[in-house]
Amino acid sequence: MDLLKTLVDKGLRRELPTREEALAVLSTSDDDLLDVVAAAGKVRRKWFGRRVKLNYLVNLKSGLCPEDCSYCSQRLGSKADILKYTWLKPEQAAAAAGAGVAGGAKRVCLVASGRGPTDRDVDRVSQTISAIKEQHADVEVCACLGLLSDGQAARLRDAGADAYNHNLNTSEATYGDICTTHEYADRVSTVQQAQAAGLSACSGLIAGMGESDEDLVDVVFALRALDPDSVPVNFLIPFEGTPLAAEWNLTPQGALRILAMVRFVCPDVEVRLAGGREVQLRSMQPLALHLANSIFLGDYLTSEGQAGQADLDMIADAGFEVEGAGETTLPTHRADVASAGCGGGGCGPCGDGGDGGDKMAAAGDEGGSVEARDVEAEEGASGTPRQRSELVTVRRRGPGTEVPPNA
């Protein structure tokens, strides 16, 4: 297929595809799916080999968020039966992080629900970062605390944070349809503040909220322009008790096409297979490793993922290997730029302006989960999405409980 040859050639040169080419990837047929995965896999292997980076989430503060993001179980007015608790103490968070590090995680992501941190909250998180680094000096720490105010990114960097996550989630044109309490521009500004402070930027999207293919291409091109070092690709988990509870729009094949499109647009970026993979990709998760070079280990913020050991087995069985603590995730040209103090390495040369979580999608950013529903929709024709609510389970272990975490 000429399209795929063109996209591979561009990906190997770090050249931006056209919008038409990106849209064409999303409209390929299921018969061509393996060809699409194989083509994007060549680009993935060029820049990341067969390594898979493991990340681990710690939900520092769960629920009761004043924002109204439609996809989020922690949103204002949510009826989802999730865990709700205030800030974990630094030693509690460090213990949870330690479980992820023991499971092989190179990065710990510290997430807290809310519009954005107060200065006192930044102090709390700074203490938590110190507690984690005291026990695990080499682990990367990414903070995800919502919208940042002036000076907060620099304070987090000085406290030892390596990265900051804030997802764009969807296109600018449709952002008002999923959230009214803040704007798309607020999210862009927060990513830029993190970059300006010298933090590695992490920003991604949520697919499956009823958006069009054009919206998906818009947000991925916007991410390319923003130039984050990592792009989490989340798939909506429809929460009962939220406005998007009935939105089951994805098939495993469609989810793989989205991941392939992201890889072609951002060829040398850490593409992270994030929230919703178990629910939306199901048995096709291993194929996604040919597209993404990073995943979350174990559970999400408010929902349970597959067992941590199952993640490790999946990676090994698919012929990939866990990225070691001493290995550099990003390709040399990006890693060199990042170490020089630029806020992002770019999907191309730093500052080119070219058109560019977690298990994060809300809280500031998790696509979480709800209790399994009793009724499953009838399965439609081939390629038609169907509800698989039995795959969705509220997190009842790890932080906020007395039960050991899953890692």
Query: Residues 76, 82, 85, 86: what is their CA dihedral angle, to the nearest 10 degrees?
Result: -40
pLDDT single digits (tens) 270-295: 999 999 999 999 999 999 999 999 99
Which residues on adjacent β-strands are paired with residue 55? 107, 296
Distances (CA, A) of 275 to 47, 164, 210, 235: 23, 17, 17, 6
| Range with the largest mean pLDDT of 216-230, 233-247, 327-341 | 216-230
Q: Is 179 a catalytic residue?
A: no
Q: How many CB atoms are located within 10 Å of the residue 402 CB?
A: 5
**pLDDT band per the 50, 70, 90 thresholds, residue 239:** confident
Catalytic residue among 51, 65, 144, 257: 65
Q: Is 109 a catalytic residue?
A: yes
Q: What's the average model confidence in pLDDT over 210-218?
A: 97
Short-list 134, 136, 140, 143, CA closest to 165: 143
Catalytic residue among 14, 142, 266, 395: 142
Cα separation, 207 vs 234, whole angstroms:
6
Given CA atoms 209, 212, 213, 216 in this order, what sign does their dihedral have? negative
* Residue 5 scores a pLDDT above 90: yes
* Residue 15 scores a pLDDT above 50: yes
Residue 5 or 407, more confident = 5
Which residues on adjacent β-strands are paired with residue 110? 58, 143
Cα separation, 226 vs 241, whole angstroms:
33
Q: Is 342 a catalytic residue?
A: no
Distance of CA 19 to the CA centre of its chain: 23
Q: Is 60 helix (H, G, I), strand (E, B) or coil?
A: strand
Residue 142 or 338, more confident = 142
**pLDDT band per the 50, 70, 90 thresholds, residue 382:** low
Q: Is 350 a catalytic residue?
A: no
* Residue 359 scores a pLDDT above 50: no
Catalytic residue among 44, 107, 157, 272: 272
* Residue 3 scores a pLDDT above 70: yes
**pLDDT band per the 50, 70, 90 thresholds, residue 392:** low
Q: Is 386 helix (H, G, I), strand (E, B) or coil?
A: coil
Q: What's the average model confidence in pLDDT over 65-80?
A: 78
Short-list 271, 297, 309, 274, CA closest to 101: 297
| Range with the largest mean pLDDT of 255-259, 369-373, 391-395 | 255-259
pLDDT single digits (tens) 165-213: 999 999 999 999 989 999 999 999 999 999 999 999 999 999 999 999 9
* Residue 368 scores a pLDDT above 80: no
Structure tokens at 341: 């103090």
DSSP-assigned letters across all residues of 325-371? TTS-SS-HHHHHHHHTT-S---SSSTT-------S-STTTT-----P
Which residues on adjacent β-strands are paired with residue 57? 109
For the full predicted model, state whether its pTM sits above 0.75: yes
Q: What are the binding residues for [4Fe-4S] cluster?
A: 65, 69, 72
pLDDT single digits (tens) 292-306: 999 999 888 877 889
Catalytic residue among 109, 144, 266, 347: 109
DSSP-assigned letters across all residues of 232-275? EEEE----TTSTTTT-----HHHHHHHHHHHHHHSTTSEEEE-T
Q: Is 61 helix (H, G, I), strand (E, B) or coil?
A: strand
Considering the chain, what percentage of its residues have pLDDT values greater than 90? 69
**pLDDT band per the 50, 70, 90 thresholds, residue 69:** confident
Q: Is 347 a catalytic residue?
A: no
Q: What are the binding residues?
A: 65, 69, 72, 109, 142, 202, 272
Q: What is the pLDDT of residue 347?
A: 52
Catalytic residue among 14, 72, 157, 334: 72
Q: In the chain, what are the domain boundaries?
A: 2-391
**pLDDT band per the 50, 70, 90 thresholds, residue 339:** low
Q: What is the pLDDT of residue 377?
A: 41
Q: Is 299 helix (H, G, I), strand (E, B) or coil?
A: coil
Q: What's the average model confidence in pLDDT over 24-35?
A: 98
Lowest mean pLDDT among 32-41, 67-76, 269-278: 67-76
Residue 80 or 11, more confident = 11
Cα separation, 169 vs 206, whole angstroms:
5
Q: Is 65 a catalytic residue?
A: yes
Q: How many CB atoms are located within 10 Å of the residue 138 CB?
A: 9
DSSP-assigned letters across all residues of 125-189? HHHHHHHHHHH-TT-EEEEE-SSPPTTHHHHHHHTT--EEE---BS-GGGHHHH-SSS-HHHHHH
Q: What are the binding residues for [2Fe-2S] cluster?
A: 109, 142, 202, 272
Q: What is the pLDDT of residue 343?
A: 46
User: What CATH topology corresponds to 2-391?
Assistant: TIM Barrel (3.20.20)
* Residue 374 scores a pLDDT above 80: no
Given a contact cutoff of 8 angstroms between Cβ atoms, the answer to whether 199 and 164 are in contact is yes
Catalytic residue among 144, 202, 266, 347: 202
Given a contact cutoff of 8 angstroms between Cβ atoms, the answer to whether 192 and 233 are in contact is no
Structure tokens at 268: 């040398």
pLDDT single digits (tens) 103-147: 999 999 999 988 999 999 999 999 999 999 999 999 999 999 999
Q: What is the helix (H) or strand (E) element at residue 17, kind and residue range?
A: none
Query: Residues 87, 192, 299, 37: what is their CA dihedral angle, to the nearest 10 degrees?
Result: 180
Q: How many CB atoms are located within 10 Å of the residue 94 CB?
A: 23
Lowest mean pLDDT among 144-148, 243-247, 249-253: 243-247
